[in-house]
Every structure is written in C-alpha cells, then in structure tokens.
Amino acid sequence: MKFYNREAKEIRYKGLDQNDNAEISSRVINEEINYKDFEENFEINGELLKVDKKLGHGYFGNVSEGKLQMEAERDVSLAVAVKTAKDDNKEKYEEKKELLLKEILVMCAIAKQKHANVLAIIGAVTVDPAAVSIVMEIAHTDLQTYLEHHKGFTNRFVPVDRNDATSDEENRKTNTYRKEEYVVNNDLNTLDTFELVLFAYQIANGMKHLASIPCVHRDLKLRNVLITKNKTIRIGDFGLARKHKDRNYYTETKGIIPIHAAPETKENYKFTEKSDVWSFGLCLYDLFTLGTKKLSELSESAEDFSTKHKRLTEPQHCRSDLFEFIELCWEFNPVHRPNFITAVYIFKCELGRFSDHTFNEIEAKLKLELEEQKKLEDWVPKKKLYD
C-alpha cells in the first residue's frame, strides 16, 4: 500500500483533517490567565518535597530525582522528577524562573486532558521565589540516551533472498517485515524494528494530542521525548511550549528559537503544528538510525538542512516509503507537510504490517498508562478543575 503522492508533495486523506471540535477551557485559552488560576489545584507544600540526585540539566535549569510525601500520610512517598531554575547570575536566574513559570502554566493547562504519551505534571512549588520547581511523573530516561546506550538490536525485516545477493548485501534490506505475532513488552533490555515503529507511533500520538489543545511544543527532539520504566513514550520538556488561541499558529515576538526549528519560525516567528512536524521528521530520522545521526542537534540553519536532506541516505531500519513520509515532514513550505493526525494514521498502518492483532494490545496498554497518570492527582489535595 503506497501512502504518498510524491508529485503533489502532499498527503491526500479523506477524513483526516484536524478535529475542529477539540476544545480546552476558555479560561485556559484566555491570554491573561496566570498560575493563580491553577494554584489551588497544583500548588505543592514544599515541606513534602525532598530533592535528591540530579538527573540532568539544560539551558533552563536542572532536573533531579525526588520524593513527594502524601500530605495525609507522611510515611508514604512517590518517586518524582523535579525541575528547577538554576543560574549563578541573578538576572539570568530571574529570566529562567519566568520561563519555568510559563512551563508550569502550559503543563497545568494541558493537565485537564491527560494523555498516555504526554508527560503529566503532579504539581508545582511557587510560593518560595528562590525555589520555584515543577514536580512531574518520573521517567526511565530520554529516548536519545536510551538508543545510544542500548546494546543489541533485532532486525525484523525479512532477510534478503540469497539469489538476489549483491556485493553490498550487508547494506541491503527488503521492504517487508516478518509477519508474526508480536508481543508488546515492558522489557527495556530488548529493542527491535517493531519497537522503533511503536515509538514513532506514540510520539505522533502525543503530538496529535498537543496540537488538538492547541499547543505548540517548539522543541521536539529525542532528548525531550522520554521513555518510562514500562517502555511507554512520553512527550516532555515544555520549556518552549506555548498554548494559543489560533489553531493555525502561535506568534513569538522575541525569544529563543532552537537551531533545529522549521525555516518559517526564523522568518516570521510563527510556530504551528506544521513547524512541530518539521522537528518530528528529525526525530524520526534519529530514531530509525538508532540515535547515531542526531539531526535535531545539528548546528546548521533550516535553509542549509533543507538542501542537505535531499542527500541523506535512507535509514537502515526504515522502509523506503516510510522514509518518503519522513522527507515530507521537511518540505520547506509548511502547507505541504502532513499533520499529526496523518502521522498517527501512517504509523498505525505501519504497525499493522507486523501483525493484525498487536494494535489492540498497544491501545490497551496506553489505556492502563492513562489510568495510572490520573492517580497522580491524589498526591496534591485540590478542588475539581474547572467547576
């Protein structure tokens, strides 16, 4: 089944347009909203939070492992991730603290509609200006690190026929997967072609949810995609994410624009679902090369990359027509890029190439993950969101 119209440079699907009925509370959409609107629902007593070892750091601050105590039962605790603003320079610290507060706001805004493939916020500490922090569910690691350190990979492509062997046989692959019953497992020690496609599906699924809010992530890359101990994907790091009124675009008058961002974001500061799709294409290429290329971390302009990508070789663990879809994500004109509804459909079909029944198992697992996310609300006593 061929999904792509290379001549028209676009994907034509009936019934795959963005869902215009997707809503979020008008109070969240209101541009004047601030954290006070969420305080009673998300503010955590800092005395209940213990910050332990640092897990990582970035431009905006540090992420550490921590323990959150249950207010009613202090001997019961939950492992959490804690993000804090850090900088020795007072002026820069204030700037990063403001960015952290914006990130808290975005995460609170999307908390009304939790999603198994989006990292969930548990709460935040904001009353102490010197210790502003976001408390989130904890993941195993980021997807880039997971791929870099994983040892052993099982190729699920049908072997090349010996009768068709050529001198470069080692670099050749068929365009067909082994058709068998695949088991969706939680074992972080295993990795194969099926799971790469499953990861891609979940990234698309999480981004589709954000686009429906509407919310633009603006910094999608494998280091900002997390993998849990149950081997489920979560879109994370909302430091540059913004909610917006206009379903078509969010405009940034000034601020930080990642080097790997889509070309139109540098020209007119417009961030859209389609600019996130550009970054999604970079993620996919990195994913199907097992994290070895790191396209989303290259320090080159989008214009240079737009020319260069035409010379990129097809990833070893990616089918040819799926690579065509990845290339569509890099169309210079955002109108010609697919949306995330289309991306979800593409990877759902791709999963069907492995097994006829596995997808139901995947959806059942994601449903259970969502139920576990909802239980996190019990750790911060609060009133109902949006009466």
Q: Can 219 be counted among the known catalytic residues? A: yes
The annotated binding site is made up of 83, 223-224, 237
What is the number of other CB atoms lying within 10 angstroms of the CB of residue 71? Answer: 14
Contact between 18 and 339 (Cβ < 8 Å): yes
Measure the CA–CA gap between 265 and 267, rounded to whole angstroms: 6
Measure the CA–CA gap between 355 and 323, rounded to whole angstroms: 21
- Within its chain, how far is the Cα of 265 from the centroid? 19
Q: Which residues contact 313 (CB under 8 A, 6 or more apart)?
A: none
Determine which one of 37, 219, 276, 286 is catalytic.
Answer: 219
Q: Which of 266, 338, 272, 343 is nearest to 305 (CA)?
A: 266
The annotated binding site for Mg(2+) is made up of 224, 237
* Dihedral, CA of residue 26, residue 372, residue 218 and residue 333, to nearest 10: -90
Q: Residue holding tokens 């068709």? A: 164
Measure the CA–CA gap between 18 and 21, rounded to whole angstroms: 9
The annotated binding site for ATP is made up of 83, 223
Measure the CA–CA gap between 373 and 385, rounded to whole angstroms: 16
Contact between 175 and 319 (Cβ < 8 Å): yes
Phi then psi for 215, rounded to 5 degrees? -145, 130
- For 338, the token pair is 């697919």
Q: Which of 148, 147, 151 is nearest to 199 (CA)?
A: 147
Cα 344–Cα 348–Cα 349 angle in degrees, nearest 5:
120
* Catalytic sites, residue numbers: 219
